[in-house]
Every structure is written in C-alpha cells, then in structure tokens.
Amino acid sequence: MAPAQGQFSEQSDGADSKDSAEGSSVPPAFRSAVEALRSARLRPELEVEPTRPPQRLAPYAYAVEAAVVDGEEDLADGRLVLLHDPAGHEAWHGTFRLVTLVRAELEPEMASDPLLPEVCWSWLTGALEARGLSYGEAGGTVTRAGSHYFGALSERRPATQIEIRASWTPREGRGGAPDTAAHLVAWGDLLCQIAGLPPSGPADAAVVTLPQRRGPQVP
C-alpha cells in the first residue's frame, strides 16, 4: 500500500469501462462521481490508492483500496468499488452502486459476543447516517472467523478476524451523480472504527468502537 496520508496517491485512476480509452465517451455523471472520490479528504491514519476494479459488474467501475496504518502495522483494510450503469439496474433502484469489503483483526474474546455481527452492521449504517447520507437497498454479510495455531506456530496468539461485505445505492444528486466524496469519508470512518481508533470529530463521536487486537485501545 503506497502512502497517501488521507488522500489519493498519484497513480492510475483505476477506472474500468468499455469506453475508458475514449475519455470523452465516459458519462458525465460517472466522471463527476470519480472526481469527487479523488477529491475526498480522509483521516490521516488512512492510506488510500486506486486499484483495478472488478470486471463485468457494470459498464463503468472505479475502485480504491485503503488501510488504517499505525506505524508498520495495518490495523484494518478494505476496498470500495463504485459501479455505474447509465441504463439503471433493477436490483439497485438507481444507476450507481457502492460495494465494499472491510476486514480487521479483533481481540479473540470478541468472537464469543453473540451481538458482534449486528454491531458491525450497525457500524456501516451508522457511519453513513452520521454523515447525513441518503441511501437505499443496503445489503451484505458480516463474517467472524477464529484462528488457533498449533505445532511450529503454537507460540502465536489466537486471532479473530471480522469481515464486512456490503453494497448500497447512494442517492443521486444534481447532475445525476451521488455525493461519492461523502460516502468515501463515511467508509473511512467505518474502517477506522473497525480498526479500534477513537472518533475523530463530532460526526462519529457517538459511535462505540470495539477493542482491536493490535491497534490503540479506546479509553
């Protein structure tokens, strides 16, 4: 992960579409949405860079990957993909869709918390709502997995990983483009929250974080 310190690194824009070679044929709404993503200002603990988006999910796609970094350690990482179909998509109920994968390692004892999946899902919806964002058709999964080490690896501590896979439809604004910058900021809030970082400001001050195995602990 190349250092970006809360902003995008100067690399390829990561856009993928059948018309990406002819920039003038890219829909204006998609172009505006991508430009808004690139202009977003995120917390300094986040390192962000464009990455190649998945193929064939939509006519136009753009993706970024990010990590919450503390020194030499990644406390959480994730990927956010922006999809656009100018003709609309029945399942999306719109022309844009955001898809994400977020992962982090937690304290082993958190695996026994029966409410952990519900709490983690509320982190996502709470991050969007704390930023005042309008969205629809949200869906996804929360997966927790525990690892225990044996033999030559027996000295390692047990590890518990939480993974959130989700997608939602951002409401479109003026010009047909959603406020993707705000959605990216909210997604960054989610990443920092699952990493165990304390809130950075009023927008997420009421959010409760769970202990993170390697990261800073919330008082």
Residues sharing a CB contact under 8 Å with residue 34, sequence separation 6 or more, in sequence order? 13, 15, 62, 82, 180
| Residues ≥6 apart with Cβ < 8 Å to 13 | 34, 38, 50, 62
22: three-class secondary structure by DSSP: coil
CA angle (149 as vertex; 148, 155 as ends), nearest 5: 125
3-state SS, residue 74: strand
Distance CA 41, CA 37 (A): 9
User: pTM for the whole thing?
Assistant: 0.80
| Structure tokens that stand for 56 in this block | 């064939």
Kindly state the percentage of the chain with pLDDT values over 90: 51
Tell whether the model's pLDDT for residue 6 goes beyond 80. no
pLDDT value, residue 10: 36
**Spatial separation of the C-alpha atoms in residues 41 and 82, rounded to whole Å:** 17
Cβ-contact 92, 137 below 8 angstroms: yes
Tell me the pLDDT tens digit for each residue of 54-63. 888 999 999 9
Q: Is 204 left (phi over 0), alpha (psi -120 to 50) or beta?
A: alpha
Whether the CB-CB separation of 147 and 158 falls below 8 Å is answered with yes
H or E element in which residue 121 lies: helix 116-130
Q: Are 83 and 99 in contact (CB under 8 A)?
A: yes
Residue with more model confidence, 88 or 14: 88
> At residue 118, does pLDDT exceed 70?
yes
CA–CA gap between residue 96 and residue 117 (Å, rounded): 26
Among the residue ranges 20-29, 80-89, 120-129, 134-143, the one predicted with the least confidence is 20-29
The predicted structure's pLDDT at residue 24: 56
Is residue 12's pLDDT more than 50? Answer: no
Give the 3-state secondary structure percentages of the chain, helix then strand then coil, rounded to 5: 25, 35, 35
Q: Cβ of 25: how many Cβ atoms within 10 Å?
A: 10
Q: Give first-to-last CA distance, the chain, whole Å.
A: 29
User: If pLDDT is split at 50, 70 and 90, which confidence band does 167 have?
Assistant: very high
pLDDT(23) > 80: no
What pLDDT score was predicted for residue 110? 67
> For residues 107 and 123, what is the distance between their CA atoms, to the nearest angstrom?
17
Instruction: Tell me whether strands 135-147 and 94-106 are parallel, antiparallel or unpaired.
Output: unpaired
Report residue 127 as tokens: 């991050």
